[in-house]
């Protein structure tokens, strides 16, 4: 039976077209420029010309992880400043392994964009010694497994990844290696007094220095006696001859010191300027005044030399030459160690439009790894970002700015790969326009080295270079939907000044789930675009002053059980919601800020009284074990701001140093007893309580659950009376 008869005609035609497209013209592998240490210098030169000619540059990164603990995830109950702190923690904990850079240039003759995708392998290797230990970073197993699933080359990253220095680290390196102080540390002959102040204590050291003094003296005398014929080979038999070689250094005779230990070399430095007293010092300096000790750092090794100089002026010239050579080598070493940050400096200096997809983490990583440590507030963060990258577009913002795009994408399909497949089918799947012509698509041609292609296999997904390419393609197509006609685009036109893009520029999602947007121009929270709000599921408004943070409670308690305990005490409408942070902590949102204060006061009173009636209180179930902690929302911020990493929130709070059981609000401490008494009195006199007592009957008592509620009410009444009595006595 021919089943194709039952297919819709359109699907059948599409199937045959797809089959023909993939069988007759197989697509080659996507042309991607992989960059490691071995080809970084040449790739940087090419990239510089591509960036300067580009209309915009798309970026993407692959990291070792995103969140260091489950409670570090973005929550509905996270305030704007808390979301930034969680981004900051992620960036400080994890490393960047790949950095994708893809310049896009509009070619008016071909009526298409020319893309140059670059995939940089990055590894934070310590190239020069600084005052710190080697780099450390976390690896999240899900992230590493994800990279491995897409054949990420970890060997290439670790062995050939490009290292880098941030701007702050570069400044530190220059102070140490190029400044006069750094030069003195590298060349001990410039700071001999500090080196030679230590007295010779061991007999072996005294004998060694005397032998060295004699050996240097013999070499100097032999050199002067044979100056007409030039330096001669050593003729005096000595077991140290193997460690001395006469060489030329900067057109001067010199003695190269080989095979000595660092301790022996320090003793040799002391030989010709050994300080024991004024008289000895004068005699020694007179004897060795024409010898200069030099530590010469070559490209791969360092060499210790004793150089003969004709005069004080010749000695000064020698030291100046050595100093200049040292500074040049240090400059070259620092420039090499700057490494991948040269790419960041290029993107910043050319002032191009930077495009990313959901890129708040990418921008924060750029700040932390290549500019400076992330500040503690969002306002300081955006100030620095705006200084170096004044024009940034998040394609996720664009996709939610246009109703047509949103309806096409749907909320569940806004990932980069989904957006690429839906908006750029001709590019993503290699279709020609006569096969699938749903709508016009902005053409893109890829150039890598000498290779040019507009038809390829999109199998390089989740490599940073390819993801940067996809980001740029999505941006170009989104611009077309917004009414930007690239066919009218001139090379002199700057996309950063485009009026249709201005209102979407420098806006990034701090949290895509909740729609929190940060404005990079001000650091403030920005209202989400109206189109996005129409489609996005509305979230209830959260009053953070009404929230109490609980942790350390008995593990058997569920959030719903906690809510029941509190509602039995403060009323059925006292708690709006509970939100689980992890298995050790929850948020409790009260209907009023006063109820949050009352709860904290009541909890403290119960814990202080610790009598029989207190143990029968509905809250006793929550306080069982004596480890339950309660605090306001600001304590949650304090815990999130800590760099400490603990998997469980309760462990994190303890590690931060929070030991108390209840944190009262400052205004509540003075009036805690009055507030508690007022609440208890109102609870006893409330119409709801009276009516509830009147309507209770025998059938309620027979029922187990009703019987429990009845007992709870009796216990509540006794406890309320007892607390009123205590308050009155006070």
Domain membership of residue 67 as a residue range: 33-164+341-519
Q: How far apart are CA 482 and CA 114, in angstroms?
A: 21
> Is residue 551 a part of any domain in this protein?
yes
> Is residue 485 a part of any domain in this protein?
yes
> Is residue 3 a part of any domain in this protein?
no
Which is nearest to 33 in space by CA: 115, 114, 106?
Answer: 115
Domain at 589, CATH number: 3.30.70.330
Task: Give the pLDDT of residue 187.
Answer: 43
Which is nearest to 588 in space by CA: 606, 605, 608, 602?
Answer: 602
Token look-up 């044979």 returns: 226
As for how many domains the chain has, the answer is 3
CB 99 within 8 A of CB 464: yes
Q: Among the three residues 623, 656, 689, which one is the final residue of a domain in this structure?
A: 656
Residues 471 and 404 reside in one and the same domain? yes
List, edge to edge, every strand of the sheet that includes 585-590.
575-582, 585-590, 547-551, 629-632
Residues 349 and 493 reside in one and the same domain? yes
Which is nearest to 287 in space by CA: 268, 273, 267?
Answer: 273
Query: 393 by DSSP, 3-state: which?
Result: strand
Residues 260 and 111 reside in one and the same domain? no
Residues 359 and 217 reside in one and the same domain? no
Task: Give the pLDDT of residue 618.
Answer: 87
Q: Among the three residues 656, 691, 708, which one is the final residue of a domain in this structure?
A: 656
Structure tokens at 397: 């913002």
> Is residue 530 a part of any domain in this protein?
no
CB 640 within 8 A of CB 585: no
> Is residue 447 a part of any domain in this protein?
yes
Task: Give the pLDDT of residue 146.
Answer: 93
Q: How far apart are CA 624 and CA 629, in angstroms?
A: 11
Domain at 383, CATH number: 3.30.420.10
Contacts of 227 by beta carbon, 8 Å cutoff, 6+ apart: none
> Is residue 599 a part of any domain in this protein?
yes
Residues 450 and 395 reside in one and the same domain? yes
Which is nearest to 554 in space by CA: 621, 654, 611?
Answer: 621
pTM higher than 0.75 for the full model? yes
Residues 141 and 59 reside in one and the same domain? yes
Q: Among the three residues 470, 504, 519, which one is the final residue of a domain in this structure?
A: 519
Task: Give the pLDDT of residue 430.
Answer: 63
Residues 478 and 603 reside in one and the same domain? no
> Is residue 642 a part of any domain in this protein?
yes
Residues 311 and 389 reside in one and the same domain? no
Residue segments in the chain with a per-residue pLDDT below the cut of 50:
1-27, 181-197, 228-232, 234-239, 272-285, 433-438, 530-536, 538, 668-711, 713-715, 717-718, 721-722, 724-730
What are the angstrom distances between the C-alpha of 61 and each of 47, 120, 264, 339, 464?
17, 9, 50, 17, 5
Q: pLDDT tens digits, residue range 464-482?
A: 999 999 999 999 999 998 8
Task: Give the pLDDT of residue 616.
Answer: 80
CB 399 within 8 A of CB 478: yes
CB 314 within 8 A of CB 302: no
Q: How far apart are CA 211 and CA 205, in angstroms?
A: 10
Residues 498 and 604 reside in one and the same domain? no
Residues 443 and 472 reside in one and the same domain? yes
> Is residue 175 a part of any domain in this protein?
no
Structure tokens at 77: 């109950």
Residues 481 and 614 reside in one and the same domain? no
Residues 318 and 347 reside in one and the same domain? no
């Amino acid at each position: 039976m021919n089943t194709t008869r039952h297919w819709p005609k359109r699907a059948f035609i599409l199937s045959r077209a797809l089959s023909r497209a993939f069988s007759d013209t197989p697509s080659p592998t996507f042309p991607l420029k992989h960059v490691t240490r071995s080809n970084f210098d040449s790739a940087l030169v090419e990239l510089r010309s591509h960036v300067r000619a580009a209309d915009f540059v798309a970026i993407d990164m692959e990291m070792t992880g995103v969140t260091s603990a489950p409670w570090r995830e973005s929550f509905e109950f996270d305030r704007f400043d808390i979301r930034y702190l969680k981004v900051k923690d992620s960036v400080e904990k994890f490393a960047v392994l790949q950095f994708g850079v893809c310049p896009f240039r509009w070619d008016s003759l071909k009526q298409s964009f020319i893309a140059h995708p670059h995939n940089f392998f990055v590894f934070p290797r310590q190239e020069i010694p600084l005052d710190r230990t080697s780099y450390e970073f976390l690896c999240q197993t899900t992230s590493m497994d994800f990279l491995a699933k897409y054949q990420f080359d970890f060997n290439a990253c670790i062995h050939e990844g490009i290292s880098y220095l941030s701007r702050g680290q570069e400044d530190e390196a220059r102070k140490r290696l190029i400044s006069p102080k750094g030069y003195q540390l590298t060349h001990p002959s410039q700071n001999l007094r500090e080196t030679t102040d230590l007295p010779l204590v061991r007999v072996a050291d005294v004998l060694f220095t005397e032998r060295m003094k004699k050996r240097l003296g013999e070499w100097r005398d032999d050199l002067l006696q044979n100056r007409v014929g030039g330096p001669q080979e050593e003729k005096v038999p000595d077991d140290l001859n193997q460690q001395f070689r006469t060489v030329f250094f900067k057109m001067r005779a010199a003695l190269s010191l080989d095979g000595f230990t660092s301790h022996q070399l320090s003793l040799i430095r002391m030989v010709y300027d050994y300080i024991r007293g004024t008289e000895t010092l004068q005699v020694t300096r007179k004897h060795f005044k024409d010898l200069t000790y030099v530590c010469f750092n070559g490209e791969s090794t360092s060499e210790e030399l004793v150089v003969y100089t004709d005069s004080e002026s010749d000695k000064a010239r020698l030291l100046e030459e050595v100093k200049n050579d040292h500074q040049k080598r240090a400059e070259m070493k620092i420039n090499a160690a700057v490494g991948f940050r040269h790419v960041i400096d290029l993107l910043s200096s050319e002032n191009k439009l930077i495009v990313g997809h959901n890129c708040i983490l990418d921008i924060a990583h750029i700040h932390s790894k290549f500019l400076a440590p992330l500040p503690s507030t969002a306002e300081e963060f955006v100030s620095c970002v705006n200084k170096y990258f004044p024009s940034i577009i998040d394609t996720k913002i664009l996709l939610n700015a246009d109703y047509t795009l949103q309806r096409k994408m749907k909320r569940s399909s806004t990932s980069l790969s989904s957006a690429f497949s839906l908006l750029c089918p001709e590019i993503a799947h290699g279709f020609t326009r006569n096969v699938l012509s749903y709508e016009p698509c902005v053409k893109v041609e890829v150039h890598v080295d000498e290779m040019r292609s507009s038809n390829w296999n999109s199998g390089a997904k989740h490599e940073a270079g390819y993801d940067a390419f996809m980001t740029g393609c999505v941006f170009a197509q989104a611009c077309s939907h917004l009414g930007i006609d690239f066919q009218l685009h001139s090379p002199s036109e700057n996309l950063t000044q485009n009026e249709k893009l201005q209102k979407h520029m420098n806006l990034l999602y701090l949290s895509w789930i909740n729609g929190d947007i940060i404005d990079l121009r001000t650091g403030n929270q920005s209202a989400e675009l109206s189109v996005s709000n129409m489609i996005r599921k509305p979230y209830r408004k959260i009053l953070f002053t009404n929230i109490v943070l609980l942790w350390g409670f008995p593990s058997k308690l569920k959030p719903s059980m906690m809510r029941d305990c509190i509602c039995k005490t403060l009323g059925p409408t006292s708690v709006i919601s509970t939100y689980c942070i992890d298995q050790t902590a929850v948020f409790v949102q009260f209907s009023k800020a006063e109820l949050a204060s009352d709860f904290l006061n009541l909890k403290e009173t119960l814990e202080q009284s610790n009598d029989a009636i207190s143990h029968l209180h509905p809250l006793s179930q929550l306080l069982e074990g004596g480890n339950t902690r309660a605090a306001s929302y600001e304590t949650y911020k304090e815990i999130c701001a800590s760099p400490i990493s603990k998997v469980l929130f309760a462990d994190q709070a303890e590690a931060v140093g929070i030991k108390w059981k209840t944190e009262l609000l400052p205004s509540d401490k003075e009036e805690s007893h009055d507030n508690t008494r007022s609440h208890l009195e109102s609870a006893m006199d409330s119409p709801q309580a009276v009516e509830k007592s009147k309507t209770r009957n025998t059938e309620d008592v027979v029922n187990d659950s009703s019987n429990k509620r009845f007992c709870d009410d009796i216990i509540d009444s006794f406890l309320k009376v007892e607390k009123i009595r205590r308050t009155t006595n006070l």
